Copies of this chain bind each other. A is one copy, B any other.
């Protein structure tokens, strides 16, 4: 009996100290006097850029160099979709302080994805989701705590940047005295992904959930996202960018935005131009996905059906005409047809299905190349 009481007392004492320790940690982390020390993200390892050396490091394309974009395309290629910063830190808290240019406020994508950040930390060799966040609607440039209350072991972090905002400066905050340093990229190859809103990540909850970013975590292959919502139509001025990109392969989602006429007219010259600049790399074309709007809209159904048929026909010609060209068929629809946000765009899980559906093909093609 005495022993039992001792054990209970001991348990209570341990619990007391755990609570005290947790309480102290909580106080330390949430106290207003945590002093954050900031490092510009581009001074760490900023990955995901299809073109390096842009005058604003968070722009995907340097619009002072590449010309021909419409106003909305110009805005989009300056957005940081697909960019992530890699760093190591032992800070128990991580914040960001952003200077924004353009900010998108669409209603079919989460604010966290459009304007916010998404943090993964490597654990047992895998990228594990840690936290995500966005600054207040009326205080976008305020220092925003993304995560706090971690232990102080050294961690390998990957922080995805906003998908549909222009970042002029992104300061990563860690607590005073903590280490923050650049982390070498563990991702192999460089695959350029030119695509529509699907590639851009429209309708995701957070920046890391677009299909290229999920595919990157699934495969360890570096994806360089040039998704431009509504604007991936094989325009020659986009091809100019792709010609200059230093990549091991291209993955195209270039049949979601254009009309049948545009596909018939532009596809062959587009491939010719890319192939001339990149004679030896795999060009992987994705058929567009099934849109849930086809469930009941006879117009959407007919339009998409005709487009997909035209794509099948054109891709047969392309595969005959060019070597090292692949045509694959992603699927973002679950059997329940529930994985859509707005009958056009998949939700996070729709994009998971997409990434899973092409993972083997992409790996096989790159392994074949190797």
A residues with a Cβ closer than 8 A to B are 18, 22, 25-26, 29, 105-112, 115-116, 121, 123, 128-134, 137, 147-151, 155, 203, 205-206, 209, 214, 292-293, 295-300, 302-303, 337-343, 347-349, 352
Task: Choose one: B111, B115, B133, B299; the contact of A26 (CB below 8 Å).
Answer: B299
Whether A107 lies near B341 (C-beta < 8 A) is no
Task: Choose one: B129, B147, B296, B343; the contact of A340 (CB below 8 Å).
Answer: B129
Whether B110 lies near A341 (C-beta < 8 A) is yes
CB distance from A229 to the nearest CB of B (A): 16
Whether A205 lies near B298 (C-beta < 8 A) is no
Q: List 6 A-B contacts (CB under 8 A).
A: A107-B137, A108-B205, A110-B341, A150-B298, A206-B341, A339-B349
Whether B348 lies near A338 (C-beta < 8 A) is yes
Whether B147 lies near A296 (C-beta < 8 A) is yes
Residues of B within 8 A of A116 (CB): 107
CB distance from A315 to the nearest CB of B (A): 20
Whether B348 lies near A293 (C-beta < 8 A) is no
Whether B112 lies near A110 (C-beta < 8 A) is no
Please give me the residue from chain B that is nearest to A114 by CB atom: B107
Given A347-B347, A348-B347, are A295 and B151 also a contact pair (CB < 8 Å)?
Answer: no
